[in-house]
């Protein structure tokens, strides 16, 4: 029995790995690289067909104004898209009343009101000076309002790409995961550095990674800078800076020791 017990004891170190477990912290700061503008145009008429014609003309006018404003500002990466038509009740009618073409009320009882959202996106703003971005934002808002678009007001930052965007001006990151990856890189480097420094104090070296666990990673949510509807478009009222977000990552990493 004794030789067998001795053999088992000698085998135990071979079955167990010498490892070290450390936490790694990483963070990075990013600026938005995209700004989006959302403007609404509306038109009403007694007949739906006439309302469709009117809103088409109005939307075309606003779209042209946005395109020209982008051209004047030399924003070559800008693009304008149109949303679908939304039917609604005109101002002054009963709340919640929706008049659909071909029915929904007595003839002559009201008007059909249509709304459409125009969205303009400008990419590459992270390479611009903040003062230039402020000038671009003010010029685009002014051009849209002058052409007949509604300015609902407000500025919002949507760092995660998943937030609600009720504001007229929305700053975004086009690839939030790429920004998060930078925080992971920093956390991994921090973990390796910590493990190396601790191990050498015991005369050991760090080997291969045996286990990694993501403790916590965070992308900021949506932040709003409210502006009252109807407030004049100006640098002060619609824009106070592009903003900057801090993205963090926490990893627990296990290394084999040599």
Residues 107-146: tens digit of each pLDDT: 444 688 888 888 888 888 888 888 888 888 888 888 988 8
Determine if residue 132 is left, alpha or beta; phi over 0 gives left, psi from -120 to 50 gives alpha, anything else beta: alpha
Confidence check: pLDDT of 4 > 60: no
Q: How confident is the model at residue 96 (pLDDT cuts 50, 70, 90)?
A: very low
Confidence check: pLDDT of 231 > 80: no
Confidence check: pLDDT of 235 > 80: no
Half-sphere exposure of 187 (CA within 13 A, CB side): 27
Across the chain, mean pLDDT equals 75
Q: Are 245 and 157 in contact (CB under 8 A)?
A: yes
The percent of residues in the chain predicted with pLDDT above 70, rounded, is 72
What is the pLDDT at residue 204? Answer: 92
Segment 62-73 mean pLDDT = 89
- Convert 181-210 to b/e letters by CB count within 10 Å (16 or more is b): ebbbebbbebbbebbeeebeeeebebbeee
Confidence check: pLDDT of 232 > 80: no
Residue pLDDT, tens place only, 165-196: 667 888 888 888 888 888 899 999 999 999 99
What is the pLDDT at residue 92? Answer: 56
Half-sphere exposure of 34 (CA within 13 A, CB side): 17
Name, of 139-153, 214-228, 229-243, the range with top average pLDDT: 139-153
Question: If one looks up domain 17-30+178-219+249-257 in CATH, what number appears?
Answer: 3.30.110.170
* Stronger pLDDT, 93 or 158, i.e. the higher one: 158
Q: What angle do CA 103, 104, 109 make, to 5 degrees?
A: 100
Q: How confident is the model at residue 211 (pLDDT cuts 50, 70, 90)?
A: very high
Domain boundaries along the sequence of the chain:
17-30+178-219+249-257, 34-173+220-243
What is the pLDDT at residue 194? Answer: 95
List of residues 6+ apart from 248 with CB closer than 8 A? 25, 26, 27, 183, 216, 217, 218
Confidence check: pLDDT of 228 > 70: no
pTM above 0.85, yes or no: no
First to last CA, the chain: 34
Q: Which of 3-17, 143-157, 233-247 has the lowest mean pLDDT?
A: 3-17
């Amino acid at each position: 029995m004794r030789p067998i017990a001795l053999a088992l004891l000698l085998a135990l170190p071979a079955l167990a790995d010498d490892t070290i477990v450390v936490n790694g912290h990483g963070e990075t700061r990013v600026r938005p690289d995209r700004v989006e503008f959302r403007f609404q145009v509306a038109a009403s008429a007694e007949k739906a067909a006439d309302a469709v014609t009117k809103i088409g003309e109005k939307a075309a006018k606003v779209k042209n104004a946005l395109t020209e404003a982008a051209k004047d500002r030399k924003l070559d990466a800008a693009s304008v898209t149109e949303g679908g038509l939304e039917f609604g009740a005109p101002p002054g009618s009963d709340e919640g009343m929706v008049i659909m073409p071909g029915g929904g009320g007595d003839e002559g009882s009201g008007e059909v009101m249509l709304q459409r959202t125009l969205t303009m996106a400008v990419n590459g703003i992270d390479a611009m000076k903040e003062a230039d971005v402020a000038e671009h934002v003010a010029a685009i808002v002014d051009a849209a309002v002058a052409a007949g678009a509604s300015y609902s007001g407000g500025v919002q930052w949507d760092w995660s790409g998943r937030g609600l965007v009720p504001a007229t001006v929305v700053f975004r990151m086009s690839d939030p995961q790429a920004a998060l990856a930078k925080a992971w890189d920093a956390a991994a480097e921090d973990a390796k550095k910590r493990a190396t420094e601790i191990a050498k104090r015991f005369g050991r070296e760090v080997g291969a990674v045996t286990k990694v666990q993501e403790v916590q990673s965070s992308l900021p949510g949506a932040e709003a800078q409210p502006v009252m509807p109807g407030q004049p478009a100006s640098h002060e009222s619609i824009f106070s800076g592009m903003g900057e977000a801090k993205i963090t990552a926490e990893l627990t990493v296990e290394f084999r020791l040599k």
